[in-house]
């Protein structure tokens, strides 16, 4: 079975541009998570969906960040406008049930904002 799929794997953009990260969770998984990882802050949960509904977005840093899950097989994380401090690795993960079931991580998107 395919694991969690993320695209693009690498993204380099200039400050002020819009960035869209994409994720396809494992088929049949009910929960999807977006994380951000930096050396300074470690792995942080940004937002968590269950059955396509946002459950917890308390980790979304500010209004420049938004996430959607229009169906069970696709989610996007958008940053508009992007800033250099958004540079990080963004992981998408999915789990069969709730947030505390085993989470399966995608390969990540390395974002660099110049």
Partner 1 sequence: QKEVEQNSGPLSVPEGAIASLNCTYSDRVSQSFFWYRQYSGKSPELIMSIYSNGDKEDGRFTAQLNKASQYVSLLIRDSQPSDSATYLCAVKINGWTQGGSEKLVFGKGTKLTVNP
Query: By the criterion CB under 8 A, which residues form the site for partner 1?
Result: 41-45, 48, 55-56, 58-59, 91, 98-100, 102-103, 105-108
CB of 92 to partner 1, least distance (A): 9
Comparing C-alpha atoms, which of 69, 77, 97 is closest to residue 36? 77
User: Nearest 5 degrees, angle CA 89-CA 91-CA 96?
Assistant: 170
CB of 84 to partner 1, least distance (A): 21
CB of 59 to partner 1, least distance (A): 8
In angstroms, the CA 54 to CA 10 distance is 26
């Amino acid at each position: 079975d395919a694991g969690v799929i993320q695209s693009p794997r690498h993204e380099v953009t200039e400050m002020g541009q819009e960035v869209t990260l994409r994720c396809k969770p494992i088929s049949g998984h009910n929960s999807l998570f977006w994380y951000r990882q930096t050396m300074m802050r470690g792995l942080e949960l940004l937002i968590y969906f269950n059955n396509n509904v946002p459950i917890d977005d308390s980790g979304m840093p500010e209004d420049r960040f938004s996430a959607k899950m229009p169906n069970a097989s696709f989610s996007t994380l958008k940053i508009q406008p992007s800033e250099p401090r958004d540079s990080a690795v963004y992981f998408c993960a999915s789990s069969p049930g709730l947030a505390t079931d085993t989470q399966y991580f995608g390969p990540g998107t390395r974002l660099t904002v110049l």
